């Protein structure tokens, strides 16, 4: 399926309006979301996933809705966490609190499966790429996001259930 430059510009304008409408005009990532929508759209068209060419607008609209939902979930999930400051009269030094927190994190990681522990350490602590982690674990790249999300959820449950009361910092 071929598209002319005028078609692309028309898609961009409509997508930009839709994203502005749903997220507000002050959202700094509007252009990124429009570009992501178009990238997914053309990838799907090239892969033959567009079954009905007459419903091109609806197909593009659905992709844009998914991009907006993913953006909102990411904002919600990555929201900065509140840290309760130490009381001024507290006798424990902040370095000791940090050591306790590190110990709590290590204890939580030890309760996870080997795969989850390896994945979380590699991604968050060692800052390795998705490709490296997938190769090491023998995990398909398409399943990486899901596996990482589930590993984080398991760690979060362990941390909140058993380790958070011991830690000084509250989330």
The pLDDT tens digits for 1-36 are: 778 888 889 999 999 999 988 888 788 888 999 999
What is the domain class of 94-163 according to CATH?
A: mainly alpha
- Say if residue 158's pLDDT is above 60: yes
Q: Residue 168 — pLDDT band, cuts 50, 70, 90?
A: very low
Domain ranges of the chain: 5-77, 94-163
Neighbours of 79 (CB within 10 A): 8
Instruction: Note the pTM of the prediction, 2 decimals.
Output: 0.46
Residue with tokens 């028309």: 10
The pLDDT of residue 170 is 46
Q: Residue 61 — pLDDT band, cuts 50, 70, 90?
A: very high
Torsion sign (Cα): 43, 48, 54, 59: negative
Task: Please compute the mean of the pLDDT values over residues 132-143 and round it to a whole number.
Answer: 89
Residue with tokens 């759209």: 41
Instruction: List helix spans (H) across the chain.
Output: 5-23, 30-46, 56-77, 94-110, 114-120, 130-137, 144-158
Above pLDDT 90, what percent of the chain? Answer: 22
The pLDDT of residue 121 is 86
């Amino acid at each position: 399926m071929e598209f002319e430059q005028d078609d692309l510009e028309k898609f961009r304008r409509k997508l930009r309006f839709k994203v502005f409408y749903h997220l507000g005009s002050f959202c700094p990532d509007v252009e990124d979301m429009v570009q992501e929508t178009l990238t997914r759209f053309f990838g799907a068209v090239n892969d033959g996933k567009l079954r009905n060419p007459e419903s091109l607008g609806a197909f593009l609209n659905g992709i844009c809705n998914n991009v907006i939902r993913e953006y909102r979930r990411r904002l919600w999930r990555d929201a900065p966490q509140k840290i309760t400051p130490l009381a001024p009269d507290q006798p424990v030094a902040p370095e000791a609190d940090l050591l306790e927190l590190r110990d709590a994190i290590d204890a939580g990681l030890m309760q996870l499966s080997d795969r989850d522990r390896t994945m979380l350490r590699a991604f968050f602590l060692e800052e390795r790429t998705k490709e490296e982690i997938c190769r090491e674990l023998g995990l398909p790249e398409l399943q990486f996001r899901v596996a990482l999300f589930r590993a984080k959820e398991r760690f979060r449950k362990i941390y909140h259930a058993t380790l958070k009361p011991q830690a000084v910092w509250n989330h």
